Amino acid sequence: MQIEMLIGKLHQATVTQSDLNYQGSITIDEDLIEAAGFLPNQKVDVYNINTGGRFHTYVIKGRRGSRVIGLNGAAARMVQTGDRVIIAAYGTFDAKEAARHVPQVILLDEKNEIVGRGH
């Protein structure tokens, strides 16, 4: 049996930029990518806390330490700078892996600074 589980999430990230003319994706500070256990080009779900909108895109590295959360291409239409979002990645595990898996849940403040870890 295969079970889809949360790998990691950035909780209440603040959108710092949007670029409709970029080819698409979400730009995330490399420090935050690592903290959440994401990989470049990995599919993620984005949940806009302000609007309730939900969509998929993929991760690209932003400058380390920049605290950037930037939506690009078509996804730029789904957010406004300043919106708070949840960015989540999921993976498929067998039952044994799923039983011991612990997701990386990163809690952020309004400046995208890490303020804690959740569950």
Catalytic sites, residue numbers: 25, 58
Question: If you ran DSSP here, which 8-state letter would residue 50 be given?
Answer: T
Q: Render the burial of 76-94: b for 16+ CB within 10 Å, e for the rest.
A: bebbeeebbbbbbbbbebe
As a whole number of angstroms, the distance between CA 73 and CA 64 comes to 22
